[in-house]
Amino acid sequence: MARNIRPLATRKLCSFIILTMHSTDKHNPLKAVLFDVDGTLADTEQDGHRPAFNAAFQEFGLSWHWDIPLYGRLLQITGGKERIRFYIEQHAPKALNRTDLDEWIASLHKTKTRHFKKLMEQGDIPLRPGVKRLIHELRSKNIKIAIATTTTPENVTYLLQSVLGKDSIDLFDVIGAGDIVPMKKPAPDIYFWVLEKLKLAPSQCIAIEDSENGLLAALAADLPTLITVNNYTRQQNFNGALAVLSDLGEPEQNFTQISDNPQLVDKHWIDAETLQQLIKT
């Protein structure tokens, strides 16, 4: 967590901007939905990124192997290059002696991204329940949709094109991804960046996340946040979320409430109307 602390001066400036935007919009209708990617749009972590990392390690002649439990722990570190460095610090400290460590990690991560692309092209990782339905409903209602993620822009493109078609990037009004901001989640930088591009106040939006780090980032940007958990994040702390659900649900596959929210007692799937009701609380 300490490696993601935002510089104080920058935090004060962003807080001023958000407070200024916030002043007259307390009851405005929903204008935008901001989606995280990995674990939120699709369960890419366990069956996408993890095997891609392992394939890259093998290609580099490394004996490293990230099994499912280990990768779950590594997910506490946001960002692929940051995750590799943390693993080296904890499990392979001799590699810290490399004079080209930063470039080597970047090359290893680039190789991992290539393997991830191959997995996405195979189409083996579908969107989570309700994601495609909600995206298209939001578009039909002229509600903006954006992405706010720490994964690379290439990974976002590979995933979206594999599950929504080659023109799917055009569905999104703003895509915030990768290293376009200095600090990754749980720092709120990526959300501040996306809000600035959307020209919207936090109270006009809702974030959809799957992890504690994602929730912390969204809340630090003053964004109302809905959580849809996955196997890696189910036991994390989601205090402050509007609701914690199994997924977004479908008419034929209802979501399960993990936290009790009275507004969702009679709801079975998340739609634009439900999101609007949630941000009014």
CA atoms within 13 A on the CB side of 98: 14
Provide mean pLDDT across the span 8-28: 46
- pLDDT for 249-278, tens place per residue? 999 999 999 998 899 999 999 999 999 999
Find, among 97, 9, 84, the residue nearest to 53 by Cα. 84
- pLDDT for 36-59, tens place per residue? 999 999 999 999 999 999 999 999
Does pLDDT of 10 surpass 60? Answer: no
Does pLDDT of 189 surpass 90? Answer: yes
- pLDDT for 110-135, tens place per residue? 999 999 999 988 887 899 999 999 99
pLDDT level of residue 280 (50, 70, 90 thresholds): confident
- pLDDT for 202-235, tens place per residue? 999 999 999 999 999 999 999 999 999 999 999 9
- pLDDT for 64-104, tens place per residue? 999 999 999 999 999 999 999 999 999 999 999 999 999 99
pLDDT score, position 2:
37
Which residues touch 90 (CB under 8 Å, ≥6 apart)? none
pLDDT score, position 281:
67
CB of 264 closer than 8 Å to CB of 246 = no
Cα separation, 242 vs 197, in Å, equals 24
Q: What is the mean pLDDT of the chain?
A: 90
Task: Note the pTM of the prediction, 2 decimals.
Answer: 0.85
pLDDT score, position 27:
52
Cα separation, 111 vs 169, in Å, equals 23
pLDDT score, position 260:
81
pLDDT score, position 125:
87
Q: Kindly calculate the radius of gyration of the chain based on its CA atoms and give it in whole angstroms.
A: 19
Helix (H, G, I), strand (E, B) or coil at 249: coil
Cα separation, 150 vs 49, in Å, equals 13
Residue 143 burial (10 A CB sphere; 0-12, 13-18, 19+):
buried
Packing angle of the helix pair 101-121, 153-164 (nearest 10 deg)? 0
Catalytically active residues are 36, 38
pLDDT score, position 92:
97
In 204-278 the beta strands, taken as DSSP E runs, fall at 205-209, 225-228, 243-245
